[in-house]
Amino acid sequence: MNLVTSTIGQGLLWGILALGLYLSFRILNFPDMTVEGTFPFGAAICVSSIVHGVNPWLATLLSFIAGMITGSVTGLLYTKGKIPVLLAGILTMTGVYSVNLRILGKANVGLLNQATVLNEKFLDKLPTNFPTIMIGLIFAVIIVILLAIFLNTDLGQAFIATGDNEKMARSIGINTDNMKILGLMVSNGLIGLAGGLLAQNGGYADVNMGIGTMVIGLAAIIIGEVVYGKNLTLTARLVAVVIGSILYRLVLLLVLQLGFSTNDFKLISAIILAICMMLPLLQQKFHLKKLLKKGIEKP
């Protein structure tokens, strides 16, 4: 039971990262490679701040701001510097690695005996692992509500239009460059926030903890889409992303229970993502075979 509750809590926290990726990859249609630098950057800022006596809630906010900074750098490199999409993200990700080392002072820093948002007094009476679920749920609900409100404003609709059809958006007077910068700032802000929260949950920040985070986020998005389909309202899609993140963590737990090593998690994550991405094609082929079979049986 403890493993399941811990996994659900982890899923909710990783769901915040998946929501950030959903903004850039799905809505803005921007393949942002900054993710694997933003995540540890948010974690490094948060952990370093807590270790130096900053209030955990303020440190968590700083992780969001740190993510926004990396997003703005990628956005400016792409829109103003005219650097190709993928390269802009890779350059930011590479540069942030050195920044993380500067912030932490070494490869990793722990939070032993430090106060975090997960050990606040109002969470003391909750059973084991439920504080993670509560904090994850609070943040996930607030973020989904705020994103749903934002995306239904004129600014949010301009943001969506930029991702749907950039030329059309530009023709009706939308500054698409500004929309991209804004989108990347919000997206990476959420990813940095997830890094800060997961660092507090894990009890440490490491400069290499961003490796594979993009695969995790994309897996959560695609699992949510596969389970609930794409014919959903925008708000429902955001909820589906968070649920997809929980389901993904439960799948990993199942794999662990089957006897696989934690060292295989990255490989398993990649395989799960590949299978989920191929599901629509497999379903299409299945239906096609079904139709052919009916056609043969008719005469």
Per-residue pLDDT of 63-92, as tens digits, reads 999 999 999 999 999 999 999 989 999 999
For the chain, the residue count is 299
> CA-CA distance, 45 to 66, in Å (whole number)?
7
Residue 113 φ then ψ, to 5°: 65, 20
Give the relative orientation of helices 213-228 and 265-297 as an angle to the nearest 10 degrees.
30
**Reported confidence tier of residue 299, pLDDT bands at 50, 70, 90:** very low
Q: What is the pLDDT of residue 73?
A: 96
Q: Rg (Cα) of the chain, in Å, rounded?
A: 20
197, burial (CB in 10 Å: exposed 0-12, middle 13-18, buried 19+): buried
Q: Which residues, including other chains, have CB under 8 Å from residue 37's CB and lie 6 or more apart?
A: 70, 92, 93, 94, 95, 96, 97, 100, 210
- Average confidence score pLDDT of the chain: 88
> CA-CA distance, 75 to 95, in Å (whole number)?
15
Summarize pLDDT for 283-293 with one digit per residue, the tens.
666 654 454 45
Q: What is the pLDDT of residue 287?
A: 58
283, burial (CB in 10 Å: exposed 0-12, middle 13-18, buried 19+): exposed
Mean pLDDT, residues 12-41 = 93
CB 174 within 8 A of CB 30: no
125, burial (CB in 10 Å: exposed 0-12, middle 13-18, buried 19+): exposed
User: What is the percent of the chain where pLDDT is above 70?
Assistant: 93
Summarize pLDDT for 202-256 with one digit per residue, the tens.
999 999 998 889 888 988 998 888 888 777 888 899 999 999 999 989 888 888 7
Summarize pLDDT for 239-252 with one digit per residue, the tens.
999 999 999 898 88
Neighbours of 286 (CB within 10 A): 10
**Statement: residue 294 has pLDDT above 70:** no
* DSSP symbol at 172: T
Question: In degrees to the nearest 10, what's the CA dihedral of 198, 202, 206, 212?
Answer: -60
Give the relative orientation of helices 130-151 and 154-164 as an angle to the nearest 10 degrees.
90
Better-predicted residue by pLDDT, 158 or 253: 158
Which residue bears the tokens 């990476």?
188
> CA-CA distance, 115 to 46, in Å (whole number)?
12
User: What is the percent of the chain where pLDDT is above 90?
Assistant: 59
Q: What is the pLDDT of residue 27?
A: 92
* DSSP symbol at 26: I
Q: Which of 147, 153, 283 is nearest to 225 (CA)?
A: 283
Better-predicted residue by pLDDT, 270 or 57: 57
Q: Which helix (H) or strand (E) element contains residue 102?
A: helix 85-104
Q: Please give the full DSSP string across 129-163, using - where no structure is assigned.
A: THHHHHHHHHHHHHHHHHHHHHHTSHHHHHHHHHH
> CA-CA distance, 208 to 39, in Å (whole number)?
10
Q: Which residues, including other chains, have CB under 8 Å from residue 169's CB and lie 6 or more apart?
A: 158, 161, 162, 176, 179
> CA-CA distance, 75 to 82, in Å (whole number)?
10
Summarize pLDDT for 116-156 with one digit per residue, the tens.
999 888 888 888 778 899 999 999 999 999 999 999 999 99
Q: What is the pLDDT of residue 280?
A: 67
Per-residue exposure over 218-255, b if at least 16 CB sit within 10 Å of its own CB, e if not: bbbbbbbbbebeeeeeeeebbbbbbbbbbbbbbbbbeb
